[in-house]
Structure 1
Amino acid sequence: MKRPIPQRERGAALLAVLILVAITGAIAAASLEKLRLSRVVASNVVAIDQARHSAMGAEQLAMLIVNDLVVQDRTKTTLAGNWNGGVRRVPMPGGGIVEARLRDGGNCFNVNSVVQGEPDNLFRRGSGVDQFVALMVLRGVPDPDARRIAEAAADWADADTIPGPGGAEDSAYASGPRPFRTANGLFADVSEIRVLPGMRAEYYERLRPWLCALPVPELSPINVNTLLPGQALLVSALTQGRLSEEAARRILAMRPAAGWTNAVEFWRTDMLRGLAIPLDVQQQPQMRTDWFVIDVRSIVGESEFFETVLVDARFQPVRLAQRRWAREGDEMMARDRN
């Protein structure tokens, strides 16, 4: 005998079925969304990988160009050929593109020039510290802060743990919320100076386009034959501020078409003659570029890949010294164009 269904229970089975259908639909939608995201991630990984390999290809091509520049004249590097800052664009299959920009990698202030000596016995270099101070003052950093930062940079890189006058060693960094020690070695990257006592975010922003961290404790190997108009500040800092930036710009404008032959010829320029320049600084200007930088930007689909490569041209063939996956070339070129 069929049991009558109470009025209050009618539709319960349909409701259960609808709930089951809703749950199944939600599970299916979630599964499809995960599948879609997995496909997107996989596509992005493939695109980034393609962009990275394209960038490495452009890097190798640029290194061949550097080799050619060095072989053309082993005693002098000039702006002939408009290679410094020139951008080469190569279209890629599927609508992608690779851009490579070659520039002089020594026309900057080498933060490792604040020390000298062997890697295991680095000690303060006075002329490097003074040049760093001059550069910071020229960029609007107050003199007391500039001196404090420069001395702290020398203590950061030197081999001992004894703070110099106005400097800072381990004890200065041990009392912070995240204690750490000084490197007691060369700066690996310019960004390390952000932790130095006296350094502020606004100071770093002003200084960053002018700084580099070459893997050698040498005075900045500024090639006065390849300096661009916007880099005249480096010549002023070279003289520790004895020469104004505007005067340095005029000197570059009067540069011989074929470049200066040697440092003596450069220092005999009217506005430089008679300045009291330390002997090691007199030997600092270079006529030949030993360090080149390659900025690479690779675009595949919606993926972008940036790479900055430091090339050591002191050897033949030239060698890759450093590789960074960061976008830093644009701010350098904006500075140079001004």
Structure 2
Amino acid sequence: MASAPVAERKPSETGAALLTVLLLVAVIAVLAATALERLRIATRLGGNAVALDQARAFAEAGEALAVDRISDLLGREGTRVSLAGDWSDTPIPLPVTGGVATLRITDGGNCFNLNGLVIKQSDGSYVANPAAAVRFANLIRLVGAPARSPEGIAAAATDWIDSDTQALSGGAEDGDYGGLETPYRTANTLMADPSELRAVMGVTPGIYAALRPWVCALPVAEPARINVNTVLPEQAPLLAVLMPGTPNVAAVRRALLGRPAAGYDDTAKFWHSSAFGAAGDIGDAPSTSAVTTRWFALRADVRVNGTDLQQNSLIDASTLPARLVSRQWGELS
């Protein structure tokens, strides 16, 4: 029997089939490459998450070590804390698996506490602390913040925290913020972080940058009591603003440079040192400063398997053993 003739394929049909195959191969290759890239990213993210969890665990272990060291320090020093023993800002290496961790403990209360601009009442509300506002305005001047009205910024910062809605002279309350292009309201409670100061009326980026090294937001509505034994000479403005009248930064700096290595056991001895010979009235500076420390700051820098973590913690040593109050990750804002 004769076989049926096979129809010849046209060249155009052969080319179309080849293009179809090539197109399918290309699509499959793209899909495979995308899947592999997603798998690579997922694997990397998973590895980063594990490394970050390890870093945080090591940082928390560092917190426990720091709390013990601070408790031991206060246990030895009793009612006086000084820089003796070289504990402040000294790197403390912490052995960790697969990386390195470094701890640094400093006096966390040597700063102007923004929350000290108010006083807490028995009913839980916050009212203005005029004396603290005057000191804050003086500090703004002393640190060279480019503010037209330091008193206005101090008043606005107080209004941001206090419980009422009546603006202080030169201050700002909800009505002032409500008229902005992007309106918002005041917090009417304690600041959780110094970065809140950037939202206060009149505080420009330049003013905030100048003030940031000097201010803090401790979780209490009372001025920070600067420790005359641990504050550094370059931090003299923090003590100078405690003096009535025109702050004498130069006299405070001389007194800090001339203090004994073991520090003072009484603030009056510091304020009556020879450095203040002609400095004028010291007012209530002895009672508003301290020779001990309640707040300690801890910075932990951890590097594990290529992952870097910076953790900043605040420790309250008002009672022993000391206790952790707060922590945050990343550079301080």
Query: How would you bin the TM-score normalised by the shorter chain?
Result: over 0.9
Partner of 1:238, secondary structure, is: coil
2:84 counterpart of 1:80: yes
- Is the Cα contact below 8 Å between 1:308 and 1:324 reproduced in 2? yes
2:311 is aligned, of 277, 291, 307, to 307
One-letter code aligned to 1:101: R
2:280 counterpart of 1:275: yes
1:225 is aligned, of 210, 222, 229, to 229
Structure 1 residues 326 and 11: CA distance shift in structure 2, 3 A: closer
Please tell me the root mean square deviation across aligned C-alpha atoms, in Å. Answer: 1.8
- Per the alignment, residue 117 of structure 1 pairs with 120
How far apart are the structure 2 equivalents of 1:28 and 1:321?
50
Structure 1 residues 303 and 271: CA distance shift in structure 2, 3 A: same
1:156 is aligned, of 145, 157, 160, to 160
One-letter code aligned to 2:82: T
State the shift of 1:199 in Å: 0.6
One-letter code aligned to 2:194: V
Partner of 1:11, secondary structure, is: helix
State the shift of 1:249 in Å: 1.7
1:193 is aligned, of 197, 200, 222, to 197
Q: TM-score, normalised by structure 1?
A: 0.91
One-letter code aligned to 2:119: Q
How far apart are the structure 2 equivalents of 1:171 and 1:225?
44
Query: Cα deviations across residues 28-66 of structure 1 (Å, max 9, x unaligned)?
Result: 111111111111111111111111101111111011000
- Is the Cα contact below 8 Å between 2:145 and 2:206 reproduced in 1? no
Partner of 1:308, secondary structure, is: strand
How far apart are the structure 1 equivalents of 2:244 and 2:308?
41
Query: Cα deviations across residues 55-110 of structure 1 (Å, max 9, x unaligned)?
Result: 1111110110000011112210011111111111224222x111110000111111
How far apart are the structure 2 equivalents of 1:276 and 1:185?
34
Query: Cα deviations across residues 106-139 of structure 1 (Å, max 9, x unaligned)?
Result: 1111111111233723211122111111111012
1:262 is aligned, of 260, 266, 270, to 266
State the shift of 1:205 in Å: 0.6
- Per the alignment, residue 105 of structure 1 pairs with 108
Partner of 2:238, secondary structure, is: helix
Does 266-275 or 123-132 show the bigger shift?
Answer: 266-275
How far apart are the structure 2 equivalents of 1:295 and 1:264?
32
Partner of 2:227, secondary structure, is: coil
How far apart are the structure 1 equivalents of 2:94 and 2:145?
41
- Per the alignment, residue 334 of structure 1 pairs with none
- Name structure 2 gaps, 5 residues minimum: none
- Name structure 1 gaps, 5 residues minimum: 332-338
How far apart are the structure 2 equivalents of 1:258 and 1:235?
19
